[in-house]
Every structure is written in structure tokens, then in C-alpha cells.
Structure 1
Amino acid sequence: MKLGGRALKIVLGVGIVVFGLIRYYGSQEENPYTGRTQSVSLTTEEEIAIGLQNAPIMAEQHGGMHPDQQLQNMVDRVGKKLVDNTIARETPYQYEFHLLRDPKTVNAFALPGGQIFITYALLERLSTEDQLAGILGHEIGHVVGRHSAERIAQSELANTVAAGAQVGADAGMLASQLGQTLLLKNGRGDELESDDLGVKFMLEAGYDPEALIEVMQILKEASGGQRVPEFQSSHPDPENRIAKIKEAIEKYRG
């Protein structure tokens, strides 16, 4: 029996989606450092290479490295203490901590493989070393949690589903929206897992995890109250994060 043009498109579309799902779920593995099963599309070596390749680009976008070597040394010292006293030291990643010159953008972020950044605009708002440890511990959590590799795999799946839907039922826009919803939801999960790991790392390195709550308050003030609703944001609402951080403190202080 010959398939009509529309039926053939549906079959092809379904085939593309099924292929994407098989590839995605076939790449699942347990993260040995968090115990969580996740789908990743990169090896650790590829994560490290991507981070090293993109670190200079990210630095350039934020005005380059900050010229104050004493401040950079402080960031290095706190970052090293966190790595040396936690499970991060057992990972294959090359942790490097960068203080960016940017005086306006209040931000910190991590690239795959251990390249971690904090802007001067955020650093100057901090009043204690424990607060800095909270930020760096959170970013180390993103690396240990392999969140970038996981998000890349999720993005590939979303794109494949969208392509299959567009071929099969001319519903590519809907599939793309569903894919973005998936990515946003998982993005919020990444932040909460990194907060949890950050608390754990701070305690193990001898820092006060209550300082991470102070960091959330600093970030909330820096936003000027102009927050995107949580359902539209890849970051959970600060109040929700604070509640989860308090739970993590109780859990790890035990």
C-alpha cells in the first residue's frame, strides 16, 4: 500500500522524533559525584575543551580580566579551598577562577569543564569571604553536576522533536515551545541542585553556608525587584531558593 504525501510526512516526522528520543535516553548515565542519572552528550574531555576554548571569549565580553591581582588571588584562594576540601577534587575537571573587569553586570557563571567566572560588579557587593565562597561553591556545583552537558543534550532533543513535528504535522512552533518549557524547567532544577551542592561544599571547606542566603538577598537587591515570573525564567525565584538553601543547611549540618 502506497502512502500519500501527508501520511509519508507523518511517518518521517515520527521517525525523526523516535530517533531523537532513542539517542537522548540512550545517553543516560549516573553522575558518580551526585548520584543522579542524567543524559549527557559530551565526554568530560569535550567539556574541558569547550570551557578552555570559550573562556577567552567570555572574558572579552566582560571587559577582560580585572587588573587587581590581589582581588584575583583572593578569588583563587577561596576557589581552591572549596575544590581541595570537597568531592570536586576527585573530578577530572580543571578548575580555574576568573575575576572579570565588568563593573556593571552583576553575575557569576561556569563553563563546562571547570572555568568559573565572577564579575567585579558582583564581587564589590560582597562583604565577606563566606559570601564569595557561596557564589563559587554554587558555580562549582554546576560543573560537578555536568549541567552544561546535560542542557546541550536536552537542547538537541528539543530541536529534534521540533524538526520531526514540523515534518510530520506542521507543528514545529508548538514543539519548539514545549522544548523551551522543558529547558526552562530543567534550568531551574540545575540552579537548585547547585545551591544544594554549594551548601555542602561550603560546610566541607569550613565556610558558613548562611552566607549563601545573604548572596540571594544581594542578588535580589541587584535586580531592583524587576524579576521575570518564575515560570518564564531559567532561575527559580530568590525566595524559593532561600527556602531550599535553608533545607540544605539543615540536611548537611544534620
Structure 2
Amino acid sequence: MRGIMKFIVALLIAAVSLVTYWCNRQENEFTGEMQHVDMTVEQEIALGLQAAPKMASQYGGLHSDEQAVAKVKEVGQRIVGNTNVGDTPYQFDFHLLADEQTVNAFALPGGQIFITAGLLRRLSTEGQLAGVLGHEIGHVVGRHSAQQLAKAKLTQGLTGAAAIATYDPDNPATQTGAIAAAMIGKLMNMRYGREDELESDRLAVRLTGKSGYDPRAMIEVMRILEEASGGARGPEFTQTHPNPGNRVAEIERAIQQEYPNGLPSGLMQ
């Protein structure tokens, strides 16, 4: 009887998770894609503004170099102002973090975008900076945070149901099934993350080109990231980001699709 009840409870949890996920479906007005999201745009903006100070503090706070800070904001706002990103309800702001060692950039929901001084000092052109910021803008308008939350809740519910169905407190060996279910859920969410990264690369090609920057600068950014990693990467399926070499191929394809007749002249490197 206990086994039957566990199975019924697991089925109910899985069913609720699936129904909730599939019912939270909206069209992304920027990309035109149908997405499963778990928050409104207003909630994304509020969440990003709330999290920004804490995230900045983890990287030593904001940088004191006014000139460098101004350049980051200038390039970011140029992309926003010269593309239809400016027509979205997101409140974009661009921040330079004081951390000189970490090579990173990230976007919070709603438009708060950060780049570390450690990454900025490795970039040699304004176009490369535009590529980094354009990629992070892509995460925001792609609503990747809201999408990830919905997917994480789905996999958490399904793996939780699997753990309930397989775990027997009188049989320690069944713990292996619960652990395996949790690991599968984690790997599934990592895959979602890699797909988001590639979509942001494609969006960055469009955004940088329309803003007067040469999108090929993003290829150089990938080489910079690969060098910064020191080649110390495990198998791609265990990484939250695609390997830089794979991203280069995707960027080159996106450039070809966006500019089938070749890039226009006069773009900034």
C-alpha cells in the first residue's frame, strides 16, 4: 500500500509540474518565439534591480575609474538606442565591476548588465566591448532568466517525483536512483543554459551590426575567453556555456545569415 501511495503522489507532482509549465506560455515580442516563462516583465525588472547591489558586492563593488565606467555605459546605451531594444520595456543600465582578476560578464533579469574589469582590460577594441554587451542584452530581451526559472521548476518537480517514486527508506540502495534523478535534472538545465548562450550570440550579431560595430569582433572575444580559461574545460555537456570554438562557428553562421551579401563598410572594429 505504501508503494502505491508513493507512486500516486509522484504522479500528481509530475502532472502538476507539467501542467504549470505548459500553461505558462507567452510570445516573446522581441524574438517572436513562444516561450515558457514564470514571471512578468515587471517582475523581471524588479528582481534585477533588487539583486544588482548584492551581485556587485560579490565582485568588489563598482569600479572607480570614471572614464572606463563612462565608456561601458556609452557603448551599452548606443546599442540600446540604435536598435529595437530601445522599444522594449526593460530598463537597461551598464556597470563596470571592480574585480580585476575575474573574466566575466553577466546580465540580471530586467536589464542590469555587468562586466568585470578583468574582462574589460583584456578587450582591445570598442567593437569587442559591444559584442560582450550585445550578448548580455540578448539574454535580457530573450527573457532567458524567466525561461530558465520555468524550466528549473519543471525539472525540479519531475526529478522530485522520480525521487519519491524510487526511494525506499528501508532500502538504502534506492538512494542511488534519487541521486541519479537529481543529476539528470541538473544536466538538463545546463543544456538549456548552453542554448541560451548561443541564442544570445546570434542576437548580439544583429545588435552590434545595427549599432555600427563589426560583429566579427565577437570572434576575437571568443578567443580571449578561450585564452582566459587556460584550456581547463571538461566535456561540454557538463558546462553551462558552450565551448568558445563552438560559439565561433555559430557566430560565423549568424553573420552569414544576417549579411548574405557581405558586411557593410565603415563598421567599427
| Amino-acid identity (%) | 51
Q: 1:91 aligns with which of 88, 92, 97?
A: 88
CA apart distance, 1:165: 1.6
Equivalences for 1:108-127 in 2 at 5 Å? Answer: 108-127=105-124
Separation of aligned partners in 2, 1:153 and 1:181 = 15
**Partner AA of 2:44 in structure 1:** E
Q: 1:249 aligns with which of 227, 247, 255?
A: 255
**Partner AA of 1:14 in structure 2:** L
**Aligned match of 1:236:** 242
For the pair 1:46 / 2:43, whether they are aligned, the reply is yes
**Aligned match of 1:12:** 9
**Partner AA of 2:227 in structure 1:** E
Asked whether the 8 Å contact 1:66–1:120 carries over to 2, the reply is: yes
Helix, strand or coil for the counterpart of 1:75?
A: helix
Equivalences for 1:203-218 in 2 at 5 Å? Answer: 203-218=209-224
Helix, strand or coil for the counterpart of 1:14?
A: helix
For the pair 1:131 / 2:128, whether they are aligned, the reply is yes
**Unaligned segments of structure 2, at least 5 residues:** 168-176, 261-269
For the pair 1:154 / 2:151, whether they are aligned, the reply is yes
**Aligned match of 1:177:** 183
Moved over 6 A (4+): none
**Aligned match of 2:27:** 30
**Partner AA of 1:190 in structure 2:** D
Helix, strand or coil for the counterpart of 1:98?
A: strand
Helix, strand or coil for the counterpart of 2:115?
A: strand
For the pair 1:69 / 2:66, whether they are aligned, the reply is yes
**Partner AA of 1:95 in structure 2:** F
**Unaligned segments of structure 1, at least 5 residues:** none
Asked whether the 8 Å contact 1:158–1:175 carries over to 2, the reply is: no
Separation of aligned partners in 2, 1:68 and 1:161 = 48
Separation of aligned partners in 2, 1:174 and 1:157 = 17
CA apart distance, 1:174: 2.7
For the pair 1:163 / 2:160, whether they are aligned, the reply is yes
Q: 1:195 aligns with which of 201, 217, 237?
A: 201
Asked whether the 8 Å contact 1:82–1:202 carries over to 2, the reply is: yes
Helix, strand or coil for the counterpart of 1:62?
A: coil
